[in-house]
Amino acid sequence: MWVADEMIEREELCLAHGGKEFWLVDLQRETVKVIRSCGYTTIHNAESAIESGLLNESIPVRNIFSC
């Protein structure tokens, strides 16, 4: 199975069972794709922030990749 296929399956499983958001983190590109249960999808890079309704806060993407 291709990694992309596996991620699509995980996304569908998460959202089909009540998940509100599915975050797909790409370590090489330093991007985060956020898929919401309403069907709205956004892709964020290190210069942007993710507005999460679930967490009630804004998360700078660069913070996800800094160690």
Residue indicated by tokens 């998940």:
19
How much is the mean pLDDT over the chain? 92
Q: For position 25, what pLDDT does the model report?
A: 94
Q: Is the pLDDT of residue 57 over 60?
A: yes
pTM of structure: 0.86
The separation between the first and the last C-alpha atoms of the chain, rounded to the nearest angstrom, is: 31
Number of domains in the chain: 1
Range of the domain at 36: 3-65
The rounded percent of the chain whose pLDDT value lies above 90 is 84
- Distance in angstroms (rounded) separating the CA atoms of residues 39 and 4: 18
Burial state string for 35-47 with b = 16 or more CB within 10 A and e = fewer than 16: bbeeeeeeebeee
Per-residue pLDDT at 53: 80
